[in-house]
Structure 1
């Protein structure tokens, strides 16, 4: 029997997540709400047992879990899997969680829905989360956009970059899903341009609670594919710069200062990775460098003057997140 009056559609994109998909689904099923929700899963022709695991859950919860099992990988063909999955959404709101991540709080959907219902001007509701290593789920760090609840301005969303909000915290009205400016389709990453677009359509509210977990160090993940070498990082930041240029034009250059600051910040990180420390601390990068956190500056100092120790620490960190 299909559920009626669905208020929230969960958007779950998955590919070769056999080790993680069950935990993601369990975190959806544990949600305690006073409304109906649906779980929309798009399996992009996984070559492992991901699809089989989803099918087992589909048999147990046919009224809740609505999968798509692709026979050919759509992402590799350039087809937007997110839009494919959301074409069938019936909810008033969309909650995002990819198949290798999961939620921690059983009241996550209820809290975000309650906020949205009381604040119709809100176009995006996000929250804090834990960053855990892929294998043992040990907490590596916390993704917290602010100490305390906060409404974020467009400028802050742009300057904060893709790491400002944890992706599986994003919750927004379905009516905005069809608002698709050109800049949304210019990068291989979707969360950052989506956050920018939603910030242009209403208010962005951050709930200062750790309600989800993001896995770091997942083999074959977007980060693993696109941020594993300087060449790939450079290509990624070039994509982001082109996207931001399109945002600049789309907004009639209203946020040009924030856009340039974000672009310079990304360029600064690339300079640091190349060991160009003097260049990173001067000219247009100087003010941005001075704004970096204390811990980041310590690592930069060690990279510059104690590179052997720094390498040992970074290797230890990589082992931790596996």
Structure 2
């Protein structure tokens, strides 16, 4: 992540400071909306936030990330229309964009900057193409968190909107309204526009956060380390399903690689041993799937393996990954449909390279 820019940031790209919101009286909740090239959706998103009927004050932070389709102009128009509610941040995408080692666009710092600027005790997320449909949503969720201090986050059902048609939410059928981090580790069942959570404060988000592909899942897991999760069995938001986003346009192998990297990065940094092991096992599952889809020339195998291994600094986890790679090579050695690996000499050479990595780890002890 662009750590220097993030650490030195002091709301310098805020559109205007509101005279109607007294800085000495912080709002109870901050709505965080990130948007980029969503001119057809952003007004509906913000109007859903404006229409909330609450018995507390709240602010709406909009991070406009350098759009080129008119979204920025629409956000300025809305900020002028609702100066008592909206705090608009006009980002320079040259400063907020992050890139992977190949130079390809990875993500932006937009949400992290909003988290840093938020003043509320509670935070709600609603990306610029989603919207809320229940005017009591925030009131219900904040009331629950105010009365249940052992819960860190709450969420609700959503309607899925795909190609102009509503679909049934796949995240239904919970056996209990209460869940924990161990339930969340099985799968991410929380849609972003449905959550409200306690503001963890500045410094909560770790340096590795912007290295993961699915930031919302990482955020929910980080939060769930310190409390329980509550589910409202009500539809209070609409979540748009797109097929043109960065994630949707990736093939299955690339998705598996990104998921693998995310699980291993989190396994390397979470403190709870049981959580770490579950994340590692999930990462290995994606590793196996990605391995089975790669071109099997030895150079590509080594490059793939070294890239995944680079995310692990914990020796125990590194040894697990190395052992899995060795097993996969042996498994493929007698497969005639895999010409490179069916060559015993080639396979043995790769396995020897794997063993060398193990020896290097033990030499550090």
The bucket for the TM-score relative to the shorter chain is 0.7 to 0.9
Give the C-alpha shift of residue 213 in structure 1. 1.2
Please give the alpha-carbon distance, in whole angstroms, between the structure 1 residues aligned to 2:95 and 2:248.
19
Structure 1 residue 223 displacement after superposition? 2.8
Structure 1 residues 229 and 21, CA gap change in structure 2 (3 angstroms): same
Contact 1:14 1:44 in 2 (8 A): yes
Partner of 1:204: 229
The CA deviation string for residues 86-125 of structure 1, in whole angstroms up to 9 with x for no partner, is 2221211110011111112111101110001001221111
Per-residue deviation, 1:233? 1.2
Determine if the alignment matches structure 1 residue 97 to structure 2 residue 126.
yes
The 1-side partners of 2:42 and 2:204 are apart by 29
Worse-superposed segment, 147-156 or 110-119:
147-156
Aligned to 1:258: 278
Are 1:41 and 2:62 an aligned pair? yes
Shift of 1:80: 1.9
1:293 corresponds in structure 2 to none
CA contact (8 A) 2:79 2:88 kept: yes
Aligned with residue 71 of structure 2, among 46, 50, 53: 50
TM-score (normalised: structure 2): 0.66
The counterpart of 1:156, out of the listed 150, 158, 183, is 183
Paired residues for 1:64-213 under 5 Å: 64-77=85-98, 80-133=109-162, 135-136=163-164, 138-147=165-174, 150-160=177-187, 162=188, 164-176=189-201, 178-213=203-238
1:223 counterpart residue number: 247
Write the distance in 1 (CA, Å) between the matches of 2:151 and 2:185.
17
Alignment partner of 1:9 out of 10, 20, 30: 30
Q: Distance in 1 between matches of 2:207 and 2:173?
A: 30
Task: Work out the number of aligned pairs and report it.
Answer: 266
1:198-254 Cα offsets, whole Å, 9 max, x none, are 1101111121211111111253x34334xx31242133222223223224xx32422
Q: Report how far residue 197 of structure 1 moved.
A: 0.7
Provide TM-score, normalisation by structure 1. 0.74
Shift, 1:22, TM fit: 0.9
Q: 1:90 to 1:204 in 2, by over 3 A?
A: same
Larger radius of gyration, structure 1 or 2? 2
Which residue does 1:311 correspond to in 2? Answer: none
**Contact 2:264 2:280 (8 Å CA) reproduced:** no
Q: CA deviation at 1:183?
A: 4.7
Q: Distance in 1 between matches of 2:30 and 2:276?
A: 34
Answer 1 or 2: higher relative contact order, Cα 8 Å, separation at least 6: 1
CA RMSD of the aligned region, Å?
A: 2.6
User: Does 1:237 pair with 2:259?
Assistant: yes
Asked if structure 1 preserves the Cα contact closer than 8 Å seen for 2:29 and 2:121, the reply is: yes
